Structure 1
Amino acid sequence: MLNSTPVTHFVLGAYMDIGLLKYPVFVFLLLWYAAILLSNLLLIAVISQSRSLHEPMFVFMCALFVNEVYGSTAIFPMLLSQILHEAHVITRAACLLQIFCLYSYGGTEFSLLTLMSYDRYLAICCHLQYSSSMTPTKMAALITLCWSYNLIVNLFITYGLTGRLKPCGNVIDKVYCDNYLMVKLSCSDAMVSKIFGSVHFVCYVLGLVGLILYSYARILRVCLRSSKRARQTALSTCVPHLLSFLNFSFGGLFEVMQSRFDMSAVSTPLRVFLSLHWLTVQPLASPVIYGLKMTKIRQAVQELLQVHLTYLALG
């Protein structure tokens, strides 16, 4: 029998009863969120203020750090609030908003990582034409494209497709809202949503992964023909990006698998942790990886901190 009562709230069914442990978990997640904000905002400030970092590679990194702040803010406040409450309930409007924010974050993250791999390809394989290929206007256009495309597409998917469906159930077996699971709860015909979502996801991911593989295949080919010093210089700028890309891909792959396949064989705590990986680990991993691996960023951070410490000492 179909549920005729309009669903206005959803229950997030993956939260476990951990008793008094919820307070240490709350403090840990709060500190983790603070570390994400501080590290990303610090590097955004460093790149913005240091003229030596006003290069395409660092500008794209800055856009990536902005996206990390956006994505983590879409999950942590709600996560912290839900941990302290006994009833893990979220309104339908808030659920749709969270889906839009999380999926636009993921799409933009993937787009920016692809853009950064293309930038490394141009810098290493087409270095003579690099300055003309990556002008400030083109950089701004590419970053705007990454953001606007994902915001518009996910706005259409979330509110134009999923938001119009009438759900029969209200239990989402996760600690945050998920578009695919919400579509599965629908009483009405969701064929258009399923087809569009699947086709767009496959085409989008395959297209971006193909561009990344092509970029690094060309980079590897050039590196194998270059001197040892040139090879080390090229790899020093590519390794941080590869680490960030692989970390995000791992989390994203598990998220897709969990939504579409039976993962009951995996323990609930591990399933919850892995489902949060792409939203909680990636936003902190990116500034740490780039901050530690990129010499110019480390030097700029040290200089900025010294300036502010000197100012505070004199003041």
Structure 2
Amino acid sequence: MNGTHVLIILGGFVDVEKYRYIYFVILLIVYVVIICCNCTIICLIWIHRNLHEPMYFFIAALSLNSLFYSTAFYPKLIVDVLSHQQSISHAACMFQMFCFYTLAASDFFLLAAMAYDRYVSICKPLQYATIMCTTNVAILLAFAWLLPAIKVGLAIYFNTKIKMCKLVSGGIFCNNSVNKLQCMKPQILTIYTVFVFINCEILPVLFILYTYIKIFIISYRRCGRAWKKAAETCLPHLMVLICFSCLVMFDVVVDKLESDLPKTTRLIMMLQIVMYNPLFNPIIYGLKMKQIWIHIKLLFGSRSKSNPARPAR
């Protein structure tokens, strides 16, 4: 079958007819919360000048990724649960895969850029303004978005050329499990996929861990105050890194053990993939980043007990 004009059946939902409106309400509420939380973070960073720093620009970029990521999945999921048949065209399926893996890889690169920013700020404070200038921040952002898009885009393009032998997927959206529907996957494409995975996910994670180890070692050798500052600024990034790592772990488990997992377990894991990071990313940064939390309290009419100085306009 030519993959261009076929419909892929998404058979991952459990008892859609029975729980249709429960699915609808949950997905709609989560999507609205994701949009509101991430838009709040982006707007606060855009409006307030004291948040116009590299670290907050990277946080805004992560929130922007979460918006794109959620919009690539939630509207389709909401329509699916209200439909009698959950299906997706091959082209739309490939687009979902492109968004999923490009934005996930971009998140890892952004976290790596944030780790480097913290390293320069804590370990090389006198050189911070020179190293993390506006031009270098723009280059890091462009690199974090363009490199994954190019590498993942090539893999998706070659996937579109492969014929489909099956049309029923066990998922609720398109990820690597769709490859099991193909008649045969060329060995060279498998090797390239592993290459992209190592370059876009494994290497950034290793760089992040190495950077944070260096930060904690250098901070430990200084005074206790430096250690506390390092922990306060690095902890949110590490928490988000754990979230992204769980996303990758769930995707790998669902892909490798799809036939062995109970349908309900598979559904729960796939829902976590689309809910976990976009939902908790802004919450983590909103609660753990002091300056963002101050602006959130001011936005909703709360006054801090410490009576913080009014941010510059």
Specify the alignment match of 1:192 in structure 2: 188
Q: Distance in 2 between matches of 1:263 and 1:284?
A: 28
Q: Of 222, 227, 248, which residue of structure 2 is paired with 1:226? A: 222
Specify the alignment match of 2:277 in structure 1: 282
Q: Residue 112 and residue 134 in structure 1: after superposition, are their counterparts in 2 closer, same or farther (change >3 A)?
A: same
Q: Of 33, 37, 55, which residue of structure 1 is paired with 2:53? A: 55
List alignment gaps of at least 5 residues for structure 2: 303-313
Q: Of 100, 105, 108, which residue of structure 2 is paired with 1:107? A: 105
How many residue pairs get aligned? The number is: 302
TM-score (structure 2 length as normaliser): 0.90
Question: 1:7 touches 1:169 (CA, 8 Å); kept in 2?
Answer: no
Q: Distance in 2 between matches of 1:277 and 1:71?
A: 13
Question: 1:162 touches 1:182 (CA, 8 Å); kept in 2?
Answer: no
Q: State the 1:215 CA deviation.
A: 0.3
The letter of the residue matching 1:303 is L
Q: Distance in 2 between matches of 1:151 and 1:305?
A: 37
Q: Distance in 2 between matches of 1:6 and 1:281?
A: 31
Specify the alignment match of 1:27 in structure 2: 25
The letter of the residue matching 1:222 is I
Quote the RMSD (CA, aligned, Å).
2.0
Q: State the 1:289 CA deviation.
A: 0.4
Question: 2:105 touches 2:201 (CA, 8 Å); kept in 1?
Answer: no
Specify the alignment match of 2:291 in structure 1: 296
Deviations 1:134-186 (A, max 9, x none): 00110011001110111222221112x101111111111111112x3333322
SS at match of 2:172: coil
Q: Residue 188 and residue 229 in structure 1: after superposition, are their counterparts in 2 closer, same or farther (change >3 A)?
A: closer
- Percent identity, please: 32
The letter of the residue matching 1:213 is L
Q: Residue 41 and residue 202 in structure 1: after superposition, are their counterparts in 2 closer, same or farther (change >3 A)?
A: same
Q: State the 1:12 CA deviation.
A: 1.0
Q: How does 1:69-80 map to 2 (within 5 A)?
A: 69-80=67-78
Specify the alignment match of 1:136 in structure 2: 134
Q: State the 1:63 CA deviation.
A: 0.6
TM-score (structure 1 length as normaliser): 0.90
Deviations 1:204-223 (A, max 9, x none): 32311220111011011022
Q: Distance in 1 between matches of 2:184 and 2:262?
A: 32
Deviations 1:280-308 (A, max 9, x none): 1110101000101111001122334459x
Matched, 1:84 2:79: no
Matched, 1:162 2:159: yes
SS at match of 2:84: coil
List alignment gaps of at least 5 residues for structure 1: 308-315
Matched, 1:272 2:267: yes
Question: 2:112 touches 2:207 (CA, 8 Å); kept in 1?
Answer: yes
Q: Residue 6 and residue 296 in structure 1: after superposition, are their counterparts in 2 closer, same or farther (change >3 A)?
A: closer
